[in-house]
Amino acid sequence: MSRITRTPRLIAAVAAVAVVGLALATVPAQATLRNEVGVTDSSVTFGITVPMSGIAAPGYNKVAPAAQGYLDYINENGGVFGRKVTLKIEDDRYAPATAVSKTNKLILKDKVFGLAGSLGTATHLAVLKSINPGKRGIPDLFVSTGYSGFDNPKKYPTTFTYLPSYVMEGKIVGKLLASKFPGKKIAILYQDDDYGRDGLAGFKSAGTTFVSSKGYASGSQSSPGLGAQITAFKAAGADVVVLFGVSSANGIAIATAAKLGFAPQWILGSVGGDATTLKALGIPAALLNGAMGASFLPSTSDDKDPYVAKFKEINEKYNKGKDKTWDNNILVGMNMGMTLVTALRAAGKNLTRAGLVKALEAKGGTFATAGLVPLGYSATSHAGYTGYWFGAYDAAGNLVPDGGKYTIYTTDSGSGAVVTSTYVRPAMPANAIPNN
């Protein structure tokens, strides 16, 4: 190793280290508390990862811009304790590794105060495993998936779910099937992953038996398609078919059945039941007419509902998304924004990450939101909405309440019974601006 001469590359390397060394002398001493990044007296920033493009984007890509639209409305009306609330949106294309890198960016580079509304089971499983927001004390609010495993305060102390769990949905839809279609042959198409597994557990709990139960691997619905499953349902003589898949799978199933001359009573799971998205995927509204589904928010066509009316107004004026056609995805996003603002108010003026988590645990179950079913937040439960109402799709593709009025059913993700709830939603605060 003798007779080494100095090369330009070497000198550059040494110079760079020297520069680093010099720069170290000027590292600013303005240390901020780790847990209180992302908030100042005038702003608080949250981040969301969501499929804004790619296979899962249709429909889901409307949620985050809608939430930001609601927050812009709040910001124009003074913010929360004087703080403007920002939602940084990152596109994860529904890919777990991308969700991790985008969440890392939000936390490390954008230095968000917390996460809000991140969407997807597989993607968020990866985030929780790799980044573990709970260990870092970072609020991980309103995760948009019904996977029941995320409601686990011991394992994920800062994670709060938003949608009713798929187990709850299975239990409640199972009750509907028993009461409305006694003696009928029922089949189910489910996504063969945590989503479908949760749902099947709920149906099992409800005592539902299927004449045919077929899964599809996530991503396989377009190739090779769902012909084998639909053919099996038809061969089994199914009168009722539950579609517990994503919108693209449900759409392919309905279209395939139409081609095969198979017209059962469809029951659409909430994940793949947004009519606007199904229509955008090429499913005529006529094929949806009479299908049944469930929701925890008011019907998007219920203009008498004060939240729906106000959110529509806010959507028109503030939503800067590429597609702000009013639908359930917009409603979900607006309501998520409102729930976030309500939580920030509950945490008080001196906002801390720990304080926000505590506020949700202490007061989250009483928040005034558009949800027609109760929120399940407490110190021992981080479950979001805990029930559904049933409805049927009309000729325009609107889900309208069965029997003309909302009947609320609630349950849990365990062995609790499905009950008809007497829950009365708190009145909407004036102009849908939380005042708690």
Partner 1 sequence: MSNRITRRGAAILASSVLALATTVAIPSVANAADPTCDTALGITSCNGVGSDGALYTFSAPANFGGTLYLWSHGYRYPVDLPAAIPVVGGYKVTSTPEPAPSTDVAKALLGTGFGIAGSGYSKQGWSPELAVKSQMEVVAAFKKKFPSTTKVIAWGASEGGFITQLLVDQNPGTFASMAPLCTVSNDIGSSLDYAADILWGMQTFFDPTIVGRGYAPGLAGYAQAMGDIGKIFVALGALQAGITVGTWPETAKASPLAANLIAAGIPARSALLMVGLIAGLPTQSANFDGTTGPGDPSNPLNQDYDRFALAISPALGVLENIASAAVLGIVVNYDLEQQMGGKILDNSTHDYVARVGDAGGTFNMALSGDAAIAGMQQVLKLAPKWSADAAAVAKLKALKSTSGKVVIPTVTMHSLNDPAVFAGNTQWLTDKYLATNSATEMYASFITAGPEHYSNFTAAGLPDTSYPAPTSTGHCGFSSMQFLTVAWMANYGAQNGVLPDAEITQFLRETIPGFSTDDMLETPRLKIYE
The span of 63-71, 190-198, 241-249, 323-331 binding partner 1 (CB under 8 A) equals 190-198
DSSP run (H or E) holding 231: helix 227-235
Residue number with CB closer to partner 1 (217 or 424): 217
Tell whether residue 152 is a contact of partner 1 (CB under 8 A).
Answer: no
Residues 107-126 that bind partner 1 (CB under 8 A): 107-109, 121-122, 125-126
The residue (of 93 and 324) whose beta carbon lies closer to partner 1 is 93
Interface with partner 1 (CB under 8 A), residue from 83, 88, 171, 197: 197
Task: Rule CB under 8 A: choose which of 140, 194, 302, 305 binds partner 1.
Answer: 194
Assess 161 for contact with partner 1 (CB under 8 A).
no
CB of 55 vs partner 1, minimal distance in Å:
4
Euclidean distance between the first and the last CA atom of the chain, given in angstroms as a whole number: 73
Nearer to partner 1, 100 or 372 (CB): 100
Write the CA distances from 81 to 43, 74, 109, 345, integer angstroms.
9, 11, 25, 7
- The residue among 59 and 264 lying less far from partner 1, judged by its C-beta, is 59
**Is 29 exposed, middle or buried (CB count within 10 Å of its CB: 0-12, 13-18, 19+)?**
exposed
Residue among 228, 166, 244 at smallest CA distance from 412: 166
Is residue 77 close enough to count as binding partner 1 by CB under 8 A?
Answer: no
Closest CB to partner 1 among residues 36, 193: 193
Residues 141 and 340: beta-carbon distance below 8 Å: yes
How many residues sit in the footprint of partner 1 (CB under 8 A)?
Answer: 58
User: Nearer Cβ to partner 1, position 2 or 435?
Assistant: 2
Cα atoms in the Cβ-side hemisphere of radius 13 Å centred on 155: 8
Which residues, 6 or more positions from 18, have their beta carbon under 8 angstroms from its beta carbon?
A: none
Near partner 1 by CB under 8 A, which window of 21-29, 66-74, 230-238, 366-374?
A: 21-29
- The residue behind tokens 């309905």 is 254
Cβ-based nearer residue to partner 1, 215 or 387:
215
**Binding to partner 1 (CB under 8 A): which residues in 280-319?**
none
The token pair that represents 267 in the structure block: 């029951």
Query: What is the distance between the alpha carbons of residues 319 and 71, in angstroms, rounded to a whole number?
Result: 10
Distances (CA, A) of 366 to 275, 346, 360, 373, 414: 30, 11, 9, 11, 22
Examine residue 185 and tell whether it contacts partner 1 (CB under 8 A).
Answer: no
Rule CB under 8 A: which of 227-266 touch partner 1? none
Cα–Cα nearest to 263, from 283, 241, 247:
241
Coil, strand or helix at 376: coil
CB of 162 vs partner 1, minimal distance in Å: 18
Side chain identity at residue 178, one-letter code: A
Q: For residues 270 and 218, is the Cβ–Cβ distance under 8 A?
A: no
Under the rule (CB under 8 A), what is the footprint of partner 1? 1-7, 9-11, 13-14, 16-17, 20-21, 23-24, 27, 31, 53-55, 93-98, 101, 104, 107-109, 121-122, 125-126, 128-129, 132, 135-136, 147, 191-194, 196-197, 215-220, 222-223
